[in-house]
Homo-oligomer: A and B are copies of this chain.
Amino acid sequence: MVPRPGAHECGTEATMDLIGGKWKVSLLWVLAQRSARFGELRRALPGITEKVLAAHLREMESGGLVHREAHDEVPPRVEYSLTPLGCSLNEALEPLGKWGREHLLATG
């Protein structure tokens, strides 16, 4: 423990960059529950626009977090799901969620 200065925040900030988009954490969470289509994601994230949803998905895909699978049908059908990497990131996020629930939402 107590690694040299830099060891902690370096990894943390690199990670924060990956999920820095406004809706990315939510996206990660939704896809952790079940894979979903573009329209399902849009409905699951009320307020997000198509442009931003598409952009976030592309970024998360290129970051290796999300897998995109296009089925060649009519009407078009595209399934988005979390990669194992995306899954593990979502799990690494859980302590933050727990902290927020305990200290911010203060429901109990």
Looking at chain A's contact residues, is the secondary structure mostly helix, strand, loop, or mixed? helix
Q: Which residues of B contact A18 (CB under 8 A)?
A: 104
Total copies of the chain: 2
Contact of A100 among B12, B29, B30 (CB under 8 A): B12
Query: Would you call B85 and A92 a contact (CB within 8 A)?
Result: no
> With contacts A95-B92, A96-B92 known, is A104 near B26, CB below 8 A?
no
Query: Would you call A88 and B105 a contact (CB within 8 A)?
Result: no
Query: Would you call B26 and A100 a contact (CB within 8 A)?
Result: no
Total interface residues on A, using CB and 8 Å? 38
> With contacts A33-B5, A104-B18 known, is A12 near B89, CB below 8 A?
no
Q: Which residues of B contact A99 (CB under 8 A)?
A: 11, 15, 88-89, 92
Query: Would you call B8 and A29 a contact (CB within 8 A)?
Result: yes
Q: Which residues of B contact A102 (CB under 8 A)?
A: 11
